[in-house]
């Protein structure tokens, strides 16, 4: 498969602090990567490099065959789709017009620019694929957070990118909106099999079932990278977050649950609740 991103032995140092330490990552066409880790693990820093926003301090990064440091970042960014749930739009644009700004890589429509009819039709088709049919004329301020997220994905797809970057796309969504978003991402990946994606999140429950690969980051270091089922295991995720969790996968989706720890008694002994009728306090001494 065609290589879309290659980062080789990358370090990032900012203000004397090592944010990424010897990170290597290869993303190929049709692969869907998840970057997971606690706050401060380095996820956003890595996504910034993959998105041609920042340079590495050491190491090499190639995006779509172009090496960072040898290419105009603005031109390279125009070839990528970047979904930021904190999109800074303030004016009450129609949904279709928000999507069309993906062609100009701008927050507001450019003065005196009129998109061709075929691009308007493409914007509507993308909205329909993402479950937003009938919302083309709705105003941005009237949308729910979930509807805004799906609109921004359509916007990011307008320039026909080979790589789509999703920065915590489920932030602030309620349960229904999150599930609608993840279903839309699964449909998108099925519709565009050559598209590569990189998604950043803190939560395994926010990963679409179509996720193929994962990288776990802790304090700027990689603690696991590769096929998702090999990386998202109980041992590795517990190590990544420095907390004992149990990982399971059902119908393609992951869940994480804290390992149960029996409470301590006043004498320092642990107790385990015994089965019994509601309200019964029977316990077994251990």
pLDDT digits (tens, 9 = 90+) for 58-109: 999 999 999 998 888 888 888 899 998 788 998 999 999 999 999 988 899 9
Digit-coded pLDDT (tens) for 10-52: 999 999 999 999 999 999 999 999 999 999 999 999 999 999 9
What number of CA atoms fall less than 13 Å from residue 261's CA on the CB side?
7
In the chain the beta strands, taken as DSSP E runs, fall at: 3-14, 17-28, 32-36, 58-63, 66-67, 81-83, 163-167, 196-201, 213-218, 221-227, 245-250, 253-258, 271-273, 283-285
pTM, to two decimals: 0.85
**N-terminal to C-terminal alpha carbon distance within the chain:** 55
Q: Is 161 helix (H, G, I), strand (E, B) or coil?
A: coil
Q: How many helices (H) and strands (E) does the chain have?
A: 8, 14
In CATH, which of 3.40.50.300, 1.20.200.10, 3.30.499.10, 3.40.50.1950 is domain 3-80+161-285?
Answer: 3.40.50.300
Whole-angstrom Cα distance, residue 16 to residue 58?
14
More confident residue, 76 or 212: 212
Q: Mean of the pLDDT values across residues 228-241?
A: 95
Q: What is the DSSP letter of 264?
A: B
Q: Tell me how far apart the alpha carbons of residues 148 and 126 are, in angstroms, rounded to a whole number.
A: 14
263 vs 278, higher pLDDT: 263
d(CA 60, CA 134): 45
Report whether 133 contacts 165 (CB < 8 A). no
Residue 80 contacts residue 160 (beta carbons within 8 Å): no
């Amino acid at each position: 498969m065609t290589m879309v991103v290659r980062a080789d032995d990358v370090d990032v140092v900012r203000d004397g602090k090592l944010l990424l330490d010897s990170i290597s990552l290869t993303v190929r066409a049709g692969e869907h990567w998840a970057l997971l880790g606690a706050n401060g693990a380095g996820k956003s820093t890595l996504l910034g490099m993959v998105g041609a926003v920042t340079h590495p301090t050491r190491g090499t990064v190639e995006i779509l065959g172009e090496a960072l440091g040898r290419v105009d970042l603005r031109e390279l960014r125009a070839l990528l789709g970047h979904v930021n749930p904190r999109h800074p739009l303030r004016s009450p644009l129609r949904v279709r017009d928000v999507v069309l700004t993906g062609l100009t890589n701008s927050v507001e429509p450019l003065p005196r620019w009129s998109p061709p009819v075929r691009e308007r039709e493409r914007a509507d088709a993308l909205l329909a694929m993402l479950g937003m049919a009938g919302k083309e004329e709705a105003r941005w301020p009237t949308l729910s957070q979930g509807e805004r997220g799906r609109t921004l994905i359509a916007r990011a797809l307008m320039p026909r990118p080979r790589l789509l970057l999703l920065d915590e796309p489920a932030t602030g969504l309620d349960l229904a909106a999150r599930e609608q978003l993840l279903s839309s991402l699964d449909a998108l990946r099925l519709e565009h099999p050559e598209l590569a994606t990189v998604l950043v999140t803190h939560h395994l429950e926010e990963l679409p079932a179509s996720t193929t690969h994962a990288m776990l980051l802790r304090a700027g270091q990689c603690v696991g990278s590769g096929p998702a089922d090999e990386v998202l295991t109980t041992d590795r995720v517990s190590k990544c977050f420095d907390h004992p969790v149990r990982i399971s996968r059902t119908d393609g989706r992951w869940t994480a649950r804290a390992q149960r720890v029996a409470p301590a008694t006043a004498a320092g002994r642990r107790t385990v609740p015994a089965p019994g009728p509601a309200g019964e306090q029977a316990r077994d001494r251990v």
